[in-house]
Structure 1
């Protein structure tokens, strides 16, 4: 199936809701830093607020994902998006509030809509034929990386040109718009008979998929958070950090597009995932040893080309392993897992930068990623042996037909 066949009114409406709902998420950490950077200890406070936001996402995603009712998800998703809009509007309207109050708003902004990405993915795959699921998920990934590429420039321009609270105010408006946009989409998605106990057990059995997902995004944390310090170590202007990271995001969007050109790729999804994650790992490791700006740019673009397909294979693997009734919750748990991987890797990198050179910190983070990949791959191999259905060839094409 080609991408042209996805150009339908329901899918385009879904894209509009996804953009308005996810752009605020991509803008959030940097917007919180800009909001308070001029206060005493502003950068430290900004980092704490960003951490509170991410913590809200990590804590709430699996809880809310499990509680989302598939056939009648719209009211729950609308409530979550409305809570997120309120969480963004609070700091924008009261930037001088006590740090604890700002932290509570940040936590609410992260926690409220935490189940929305997983639910939107379940909605998207219900809007297209089964044979088009890989292409649909590729479109989602392209949108996501395009949003993440544009968000830093948007936040910086608005904060410096219009005011530090303007980005957060825009985020509140966008999330409120996404809330209204939900009524352009189906009220939910069909899953067939639901057994919450069985779904919970299936979610627990899928832990290797989450570990590999966390390993993949831990590499993104290394690239984003250590790159400025690495450029300084190399004697390269720190202003190159933005263009280099934009190249990574654009490479990822391209990789998602290429992966979606075929419904099947050689090898099983677990094998694809491990190979792709290790490829990104090799690229990030090269950052620690290459001294030239052009070489760093080439490596980041190449790593980005593999990053998006690596995440796509994880989401497609969940469709193989989980019953339809647990898919939205599984996507939400994955969302939390990759957020945790990003946070752990970023925290490790920040701590190491105090005692070692940036290049050494990157290599230590790479070692952590390799360890997570090995654990996830071993667990998924055991999972495949226990579940014969998971061993069927499905390099990009789910084996289960979802009742619609």
Structure 2
């Protein structure tokens, strides 16, 4: 198990395509604020446009994710990314348009490419050997951390140094380049498990059966939402917290960059070895660590303490999200993973927005540190609910624990690498393979392909 298994030309092309697809998303909220700040009521309008963009993501990810098909992956992703590029182009080319028109462009820019995250993640895991899944997801985590670390500086520099519309036009160009990059990658990913799995006609699964599978994985989504909620809490309240501590607000950028770099380091370290314990247990421990770091940042009197807490919290949060992605692979059969990742993306975005809204409302009446602590309490409740749901689902399906695994045609590669799901010894992708309820799917269906 090594990062060497991930090093290939196709993964490099995937990384270039993913940067083109994701950097516009990371740039969008701040770019919209800069775009509108010189108009009357500009900051409020910028916030509204950013909210419209996020709402588009939350709605578009599950709706479009449910329509993704492994045999037409390139066409689905290219269409969404192309429409997203049009949305960004409209925002950058028509900054003086009526607010309703700009909101429409923002919704399109957020919603149309929202399923790309899940589709590209599924495609990445199809490009590497089964045993390297954890390393592939770690590479994705490092790439995402780099994008989020670079985006704020790029937006601020271009908006202030060139023109407010330039960041959005750059976002449009990057997203258009990701459409071209798709043609350097396979046109589809493996559809193992799609045939004969829950389909009404014995073939492609129905929308209802797919929705049932995704709904059954709700505990993973809840914990995933809690993870990004803590990240959003730290980002959105940090300027006010610095003011409370008598620190210049200009430190917000470097501190958030440090947190993103910490996330990249956390993703890299997570992929170096196999970690002990059940995924759900590791996730709770990591989330508790992130909550402790955010609490420490809220209570620290100086910049050094806040910086250290955010860097460590970013590393732990990255590892926590990796455990959630691995748990989702256990909870869903392969044909449902792209849709599952899209729903996870929507849930995480909703968690980010909900905690940010809570903190924003509390800032009107309480100190920033108190608002942070309230947000931490909310995320700990979400984490506990998600953990309880996973434990309950695992305990509710003991009949699946002793079932012998069936090796389907799609399992040939896994069988060749010694990683067929089921009661075998050793570990796969950094996750111990064990018999018993832990190996059962969260949905309780006992699908033989639901393990890593």
CA contact (8 A) 1:267 1:395 kept: no
CA contact (8 A) 1:199 1:323 kept: no
Higher share of residues assigned helix: 1
In structure 2, the partner of 1:147 is: 147
Q: Give the Cα separation in 1 of the matches to 2:170 and 2:78.
A: 18
For the pair 1:202 / 2:197, whether they are aligned, the reply is no
In structure 1, the partner of 2:127 is: 127
Moved more, 29-38 or 381-390: 381-390
Partner residue of 1:211 out of 206, 222, 242: 222
Q: Give the Cα separation in 1 of the matches to 2:91 and 2:339.
A: 30
Q: Give the Cα separation in 2 of the matches to 1:108 and 1:69.
A: 21
Q: Give the Cα separation in 2 of the matches to 1:316 and 1:387.
A: 20
* Offset from partner CA, 1:130-169 (integer Å, 9 cap, x none): 0000000000000001100000000000001110000000
Higher relative contact order by CA 8 Å / sep ≥ 6: 1 or 2? 1
Moved more, 14-23 or 380-389: 380-389
Report the TM-score when normalising by structure 1.
0.96
Greater radius of gyration (CA): 2
CA contact (8 A) 1:88 1:171 kept: yes
CA contact (8 A) 1:236 1:293 kept: yes
Give structure 1 stretches of 5+ with no counterpart: none
Q: Give the Cα separation in 2 of the matches to 1:387 and 1:128.
A: 31
For the pair 1:250 / 2:284, whether they are aligned, the reply is no
Offset of residue 384 of structure 1: 1.5
Change (3 A) 1:394 1:374: farther
For the pair 1:328 / 2:338, whether they are aligned, the reply is yes
Q: Give the Cα separation in 1 of the matches to 2:140 and 2:97.
A: 37
Q: Give the Cα separation in 2 of the matches to 1:249 and 1:137.
A: 16
Q: Structure 2 matches for 1:59-98, cutoff 5 A?
A: 59-98=59-98
CA contact (8 A) 1:251 1:305 kept: yes
Name the count of aligned residue pairs.
402
Report the TM-score when normalising by structure 2.
0.86
CA contact (8 A) 1:313 1:396 kept: no
In structure 2, the partner of 1:365 is: 375
Q: Give the Cα separation in 1 of the matches to 2:187 and 2:429.
A: 31
CA contact (8 A) 2:263 2:317 kept: yes
In structure 2, the partner of 1:338 is: 348
Partner residue of 1:230 out of 241, 253, 257: 241
Offset of residue 394 of structure 1: 6.6
For the pair 1:307 / 2:317, whether they are aligned, the reply is yes
Give structure 2 stretches of 5+ with no counterpart: 196-203, 402-421, 434-447
